[in-house]
Amino acid sequence: MDILRAVNRRRTPQNQPADPRQQANSAGGHTFVLDDAARLRRFLTLGVDGGTYYATAGALARENAEVVGRMAVADPVTLVDTIVEVSTSGAAPRQHPALFALAYAASVPESAALALAALPQVARTGTHLFLFAGYVEQFRGWGRGLRRAVGGWYTAKDAGAVAYQAAKYRQREGWSHRDLLRLAHPVTADPGLRATFDWIVRGATGEHTPALVEAFVKAQEASDTATWSALVRDAGLSWEMLPDAALAEPAVWDALLDVGLPATALMRQLPRLTRLGLLPDVGGRTDEVTALLADPERLRRARVHPVGVLVAQRTYASGVSARGAGRWEPTQRVVDALDAGFYAAFGAVEPSGKRMLLAVDVSGSMSVPIAGMPLTAREASAALALVQLATEPGSSAVGFAAATDGSWDPPAIKSLGISPRRRLDDALRVVDEMPMGGTDCAQPMLYALANGLEVDTFVVYTDNETWHGEVHPHQALRQYRERTGIPARLVVVGMTATEFSIADPSDAGMLDVAGFDAAVPSLISQFARGL
């Protein structure tokens, strides 16, 4: 044997580097490495709560914190701008990563002023502010700049807005508004704000106390449904401002629906509304609620993330809470409305008109939770593929994996057999039932080549921990282009916040995006069209 035959830059086993820019990933394969800006976006979008198959949540958190730290010194403007953009656009299902990154940036001299100035944009609710306060103490003390920024969060609002935040988000994450006001010492000449601060810190009410505070106090003292319902309708109390006894009364929830439950609150309260008999198969409030759940404009205004709708749909359809604390008989029309709401939450996507192969990595490493949600990376990938299937009539979806001995039967890649016409939870069950194996992200291109498929754009949903196979994914794409004459493109949808990507950053026909960014379907279609 001529040993020199083993050196091949056109067809290299994935456990060996095919390019000097590649590094060993956590699975032992070799992949390209993202720059800090791209990795930051993945972190802000996906978080690190579940870790990955190969890395603990703690290790992944430390790696991403190092990225934030480097950018805080080297490129503070891009860091803070990206935090604000991801947070305010609704790209991420949870705000924890953005608030953590902002808190870290607020502790670094080069980025502190920018980060603190952005606090009101990222911390939009009392809960967000409490999370920020907890994170920022991990990095710094309460100096003048931090006190001024937190105090400004309150004084930039009118008395009614502060009262609303204080009554709705009274205590979270071990913090209260009383704690923050005592630390920040905000100064204001506005009598309404001063009276609101006085109530928050000392429980005192007076001439200038906002009417919402007086209604909140009255609700805590009341014990009858009529009073609670009237306070909801007349004073605008939200469900969080009511005592527990009130939340067991159907008439109170009728009042809350009459004045309008926020989109996210409505989804979370569907089990309770069902148990209380407000969402029957026929009649009740079902027509109204189902229309609200699938309203694209309402979802957009409320920054409802698609993964939030997906989790709500799966939870409600199951008829049992994640903690096993309650059960209900799901109303089918509500399940269907959540199905429609999931697609609507992505907004309008213009089809590319291209032939797409959507390839979902169903390997063992994709079994980890995503974004701290009760949803695995491969389930989230299948959900994203469903959205693309609904958008692109010329697309099809497959699942792929590979056994470590190369003999997996059934084949390593096969059709998912899913479509948007199937109910969302049924479609995800198909992916759940597929056997897991090793990761070989070259499979979609090799499959298309072997079966004579004409593909304009490959979309691979993966954690990028590819390691099993005799050719790297970017080499397989090059081979597909050469043999078919089709200038095929590759979009890699990264489903975990690692530094790896199978996309060659020097190839203009390859794109890496952060999975479950709400903009992903539009990005894929635009890239496929050559934009």
Segment 229-285, tens digit of pLDDT: 999 999 999 999 999 999 999 999 999 999 999 999 999 999 999 999 999 999 999
pLDDT tier for residue 434 given thresholds of 50, 70 and 90: confident
Give the N- to C-terminal CA distance of the chain in Å, as an integer.
48
For residue 40, name the pLDDT band (cuts at 50, 70, 90): very high
Specify the pLDDT at position 519.
84
Q: Where are the domains of the chain?
A: 35-208, 210-254, 261-348, 352-529
Cβ atoms of 295 and 301 closer than 8 Å: no
pLDDT band at 467 (very low <50, low <70, confident <90, very high): confident
Q: What is the average pLDDT across 108-130?
A: 97
3-state SS track over 389-402: HHHCCCEEEEEECE
What is the spatial distance between Cα 159 and Cα 379, in angstroms, rounded to a whole number?
44
State mean pLDDT over 316-334: 87
The overall average pLDDT reported for the chain is 90
Check: CB of residue 381 under 8 Å from CB of residue 461.
yes
Predicted confidence (pLDDT) at residue 55 exceeds the cutoff of 60: yes
Q: Where do we find the tokens 């389930």?
A: 379
Encoding tokens for residue 531? 């934009």
Specify the CATH number of the domain 352-529: 3.40.50.410
- Please report, rounded to a whole number, the percentage of residues in the chain having pLDDT higher than 90: 64
Q: What is the pLDDT of residues 330-383, one digit of tens each?
A: 999 999 999 999 988 887 788 999 999 999 998 888 888 876 677 888 888 888
| pLDDT score, position 410 | 46
Contacts (Cβ under 8 Å, ≥6 apart) of 276: 248, 250, 253
Instruction: Specify whether the CB–CB gap between 129 and 151 falls below 8 A.
Output: no
**pLDDT at residue 16, as a whole number:** 86
pLDDT in the model for residue 427: 78
- The string of pLDDT tens digits covering residues 232-243 is 999 999 999 999
| Range of lowest pLDDT (43-52, 287-296, 440-449) | 43-52
Cβ–Cβ under 8 Å, residues 295 and 328: no
pLDDT digits (tens, 9 = 90+) for 168-179: 999 988 999 999
Q: Which two tokens stand for residue 3?
A: 């040993």
Q: What is the spatial distance between Cα 129 and Cα 115, in angstroms, rounded to a whole number?
A: 13
Q: Is residue 59 scored above 60 in pLDDT?
A: yes
pLDDT value for 337 = 96
Q: Find the mean pLDDT for residues 289-307.
A: 91
Query: What distance in Å separates the CA atoms of residue 469 and residue 471, rounded to the nearest whole number?
Result: 6
Structure tokens at 370: 């995503």
Question: What is the amino acid identity at position 496?
Answer: T
Q: What is the pLDDT of residues 386-413, one digit of tens each?
A: 889 888 888 999 998 875 554 544 457 8
